[in-house]
Amino acid sequence: MRELPGLIRVDFAELAKRLWRHRWLLLLLCGGATFGVYFFSRLQTPVYQATARLLAAQPTAFSSGLNSLPVASPLDSQAYREAALSSQVLKETLGGSQGQETLEQFRRRLRVRTVDGRQSSVIILSVRDNDPARAARLANEWADALRRWDDQRVRGSFSRYRVSLEAQLRTVQADLERSASSPERREGLRSLQGSLLRDLDLVRALEQGATGQLSLLDLAEVPLRPVAPRPLLNALLAGMLTLALGVLFFVLREALVRTVRSSEEAMELTGLQVLGEFPRLLGPDRNLPKEAASYLRTYVNRGLMSEEGPKIVAVTSPEAKDGKSSVAIALARAYARTGKPTLLIDLDLHRPVLHTEFGIKSGPDVISVLRDPLFGVAAHQVERGLSLLPCLQSVDDPSGLLSQQLRPFLRRLREAGEWEAIIIDTPPVLAVTDTLVVAPQVSGVLVVVSVGLTGRRSLKVAVDNLTRIGAQVLGLVVNQLRPGEGILATSRGYLERYEGSWRRPNSQEQDPLRTQW
């Protein structure tokens, strides 16, 4: 288990359990995504790709040995990439004047790659189309258009030089026609005229035969197989992506959980032993399994072996709705089934519930006993061996009443010797301070933890508060467990989970630990 700041924990063992528990859902989603993408891909129109290759060789020079002739600047592969996608080349490929929108649509179907060498590069031009023959034709026309653009670029340098020579020649001829200079001057002009005519003839010849750096390496052929869609590959990727997203969902869910997820985690957080475990019940029923309550009773007795007189056990929880009242009732009934007189007291003076559970509406209650020390401890006999002292009144300051009257009240119970086990249902530790008043004065305290409901930080703070005031915390009682979960469940192989409660295979009601105190 890895812990991050703020009690953000990723329990990889719990994560593995959850993944295994939901394996069929993950496999179903993965399979659904795989088959769905496969059939969807099969319905798509196939796309073919044709490729033409050009060789861009770096020339040594574009001259005939005369220093006065121009040399075209060589281009690198990146320049050819940009030129291939330029509007000028694409318009020549498609023929005629095309609108910008048409060029953009055509450009999205094109791919340009380059392979660079030391002295040359390979320009790879690919065209995608639904028609394989049209894809090959467009790729070849694109390659020819790029070659023509490169040839025109080189010819342009000779063309500009030719225009310059023609202008100089016209100037010399004009000087010869109007010149009245000496014969030496006229002879020099004729010599210059002859030189310009020779250069002009050479430049015209080079202009006609000049080519660029590009030469055709491979013509595009009609493709036989489409490049998209690829149903098998798409289906495989979709299945893997769905599975990865599903696992990521459970990882994030586990990382963001702030509640206790298992008995092992509760033990790790608090350092306390788990003395009892109860399964998740359906509906509002508070009747927890008898066998689980008997085990809890046995472990509580083991922790209070040195206690003389009646065992007084307080049952509390970090927060509300953790099931502490149900655990208190189950533990009291477990003691009563052994034949020992047991008293169940409702000291949750803020929200009492035990009188509702046993249907008591009037009569003696714990408030009357606490307020009047002379008032006898008269409890309601609710079951065989089990008496209840409910809370039927409200009080303005429950914590103050308990601080003043609880100690003499418990002393009277011990001196009376009428009950051998006294179970006290107390409020949640973090809700009010009443439990912190009760806890140091009883034999031991049980902390109820509800899986999936009790907060991790709340549990740590509650146990720390009880320990700080000197209370004897006997251990934890884990509630709301799923079938097959728990530390103690593995050692009780004869128990079966059936319709929200654990039952023995023979469905006998006999207490397996009836003879144990």
Instruction: Report which DSSP code applies to 430.
Output: T
Give the pLDDT band of residue 505 (cuts 50, 70, 90). very low
| Cα angle value 239/243/244 (rounded, 5°) | 115
Q: Is residue 97 packed enough to be buried (19+ CB in 10 Å), middle (13-18) or exposed (0-12)? A: exposed
Token pair recorded at residue 466: 């009880």
CA atoms within 13 A on the CB side of 98: 18
Question: Which regions of 288-335 does DSSP assign to beta strands (E)?
Answer: 311-316
Q: Tell me what the mean pLDDT of segment 164-181 comes to.
A: 77
**In 10 A of CB 502, how many CB atoms?**
20
- CA-nearest of 244, 293, 238, 304 to 448 is 293
Give the pLDDT band of residue 132 (cuts 50, 70, 90). very high
Sort strands 496-498 and 386-389 into parallel, antiparallel or unpaired: unpaired
pLDDT (0 to 100) of residue 166: 82
Q: How far is CA 24 from the centre of its chain?
A: 19
Is residue 292 pLDDT above 80, yes or no? yes
Q: How many angstroms separate the CA atoms of 386 and 483, rounded?
A: 30
pLDDT (0 to 100) of residue 199: 80
* Identity at 309, one-letter amino acid code: G
Q: How many angstroms separate the CA atoms of 456 and 399, rounded?
A: 26
pLDDT (0 to 100) of residue 475: 93
pLDDT (0 to 100) of residue 503: 37
The predicted-structure confidence for 324-348, as pLDDT tens digits, reads as follows 999 999 999 999 999 889 999 999 9
The predicted-structure confidence for 199-227, as pLDDT tens digits, reads as follows 878 777 777 777 778 999 999 999 999 99
Phi, then psi, of 73 in degrees rounded to 5: -75, 130
pLDDT (0 to 100) of residue 281: 75
More confident residue, 489 or 109: 109
pLDDT (0 to 100) of residue 495: 40
pLDDT (0 to 100) of residue 113: 94
Phi, then psi, of 269 in degrees rounded to 5: -70, -35
Contact between 330 and 293 under an 8 Å Cβ cutoff? The reply is yes
pLDDT (0 to 100) of residue 162: 79
Q: Is residue 328 packed enough to be buried (19+ CB in 10 Å), middle (13-18) or exposed (0-12)? A: buried
Contact between 483 and 279 under an 8 Å Cβ cutoff? The reply is yes
Q: Is residue 121 packed enough to be buried (19+ CB in 10 Å), middle (13-18) or exposed (0-12)? A: buried
Average pLDDT, the chain: 83
- CA-nearest of 146, 156, 160, 166 to 210 is 156
Sort strands 2-4 and 8-10 into parallel, antiparallel or unpaired: antiparallel
Is residue 426 pLDDT above 90, yes or no? yes
pLDDT (0 to 100) of residue 59: 60
pLDDT (0 to 100) of residue 318: 93
- CA-nearest of 472, 15, 486 to 267 is 486
Is residue 116 pLDDT above 80, yes or no? yes
68-77, 146-155, 185-194, 264-273 — which is least confidently predicted? 68-77
Is residue 146 pLDDT above 90, yes or no? yes
Which stretch of DSSP H or E encloses residue 126? Answer: strand 120-129
Contact between 314 and 446 under an 8 Å Cβ cutoff? The reply is yes
Give the pLDDT band of residue 185 (cuts 50, 70, 90). confident
Is residue 247 pLDDT above 80, yes or no? yes
Is residue 512 pLDDT above 70, yes or no? no
pLDDT (0 to 100) of residue 71: 57
pLDDT (0 to 100) of residue 21: 83
18-27, 66-75, 378-387 — which is least confidently predicted? 66-75
CA atoms within 13 A on the CB side of 211: 11
The predicted-structure confidence for 8-66, as pLDDT tens digits, reads as follows 556 677 778 778 888 899 999 999 999 999 999 889 999 999 999 999 886 644 444 44
87-91, 253-257, 432-436 — which is least confidently predicted? 253-257
Give the pLDDT band of residue 260 (cuts 50, 70, 90). confident
Q: Tell me what the mean pLDDT of segment 105-117 comes to.
A: 92
Contact between 54 and 123 under an 8 Å Cβ cutoff? The reply is yes
Q: How many angstroms separate the CA atoms of 132 and 224, rounded?
A: 8
pLDDT (0 to 100) of residue 257: 76
247-256, 295-304, 347-356, 453-462 — which is least confidently predicted? 247-256
- The three-class DSSP label of residue 308 is coil
pLDDT (0 to 100) of residue 494: 39
Q: How many angstroms separate the CA atoms of 456 and 144, rounded?
A: 72
Token pair recorded at residue 381: 């006999």
* Identity at 393, one-letter amino acid code: Q
Q: Which residue has the tokens 């907060």?
A: 455
Contact between 214 and 142 under an 8 Å Cβ cutoff? The reply is no
pLDDT (0 to 100) of residue 375: 61
Question: Which regions of 357-469 does DSSP assign to beta strands (E)?
Answer: 380-383, 386-389, 421-425, 444-450
167-176, 308-317, 381-390 — which is least confidently predicted? 167-176
More confident residue, 487 or 436: 436
Which stretch of DSSP H or E encloses residue 10? Answer: strand 8-10
Q: Tell me what the mean pLDDT of segment 285-307 comes to.
A: 85
Which stretch of DSSP H or E encloses residue 128? Answer: strand 120-129
